[in-house]
Amino acid sequence: MGRGTDEIRQQMLSPASRGVHLLGWKSYDAGQQGLAQRYYLQSYALAVESGVPGHDGFVMRTMAMQGLKLHRPEHCQALAETGLNRAKGKVDVQTESLFRVVHAHTLAKSGQRQAAVVEAERARTLLAADCGGEMPFWALAWGPPAASVYSRNAKVYETLGDRRNAAEQYARAAASRPASYARIVALDLVASAEMQLKGGSIEQACATWNRAMDHMDGVRSVRTRKAVTGMRSGLARFRARGVRCAADLDERAVEFLAAT
């Protein structure tokens, strides 16, 4: 009787947590960070109440990611580490890799370079060691785990100042996502282009940005508009020098912003 009640609770509350989690993510994408945080806290409470191993930790992982994005890293490492500890040994290896790569990013942000590199490598090893375990639905909500690991690893490298590896990992993340994830693919490619530009490869960066904009067709997102606006700022000095690819790309960006 007790086990049946537990199963019913899990079947009701875990999907509810995932639904509220998604609302938080949509608020985050719309730039409504306070609202996103409130949704994440509600999602966390539902995940805890569900009793599903690792689900509460997954929401903590998301809260750590939001803190990193908002440049508030002071509590992110504790969130990511606690989330990982709640899932470790209770979820499949691919799901664990999602926890570890975010933990690696928080380590990098706190200046623990060697520990970050080791944890990022551990995440990649777990990803490659897929033993056929079934991933929980809440861990699949944001697409293939490989793409998430590559994208977050790119952020680790970016934090550590390794632009070449960061650009490669962002590109790898984009290539690992289905076409239906057009907005996220575009953002991964934008990030790759930014790393290429900072590395001095203007023509390569323009080519990657053009690929990103190909994926933005039909996409309506605050983050994509912000990315295109940022791209124009980054290209300004090259336009001023008469670099053709920068001028052509800027023209495309102006048309995109006018249409969205």
- Residue-wise pLDDT tens for the chain (260 aa)? 355 677 888 889 999 999 999 999 999 988 899 999 999 999 999 999 999 999 999 999 999 999 999 988 889 999 999 999 999 999 999 999 999 999 999 999 999 999 999 999 999 999 999 777 789 999 998 889 999 999 999 999 999 999 999 999 999 999 999 999 999 999 999 999 999 999 999 999 999 999 999 999 888 888 999 999 999 999 999 999 999 999 999 999 999 999 98
Domain(s) labelled CATH 1.25.40.10 in the chain stretch across 1-161
Its pTM stands at 0.91
- pLDDT of 76: 96
Helices 55-69 and 33-50, interaxial angle, to 10°? 160
Q: Who's near 103: CB < 8 A, 6+ residues apart?
A: 77, 80, 81, 83, 84, 119
- The predicted structure's pLDDT at residue 3: 58
What is the predicted pLDDT for the residue at 6? 77
Instruction: Report pLDDT for 191.
Output: 98
Neighbours of 78 (CB within 10 A): 12
CATH topology classification for 1-161:
1.25.40
> Is residue 170 a contact partner of residue 151, using CB atoms and an 8 Å limit?
yes
Closest by alpha carbon to 74, among 86, 60, 82, 64? 64
> What pLDDT was estimated at residue 1?
39
Residue type, 115: A
Are 3 and 51 a contacting pair, CB within 8 Å? no
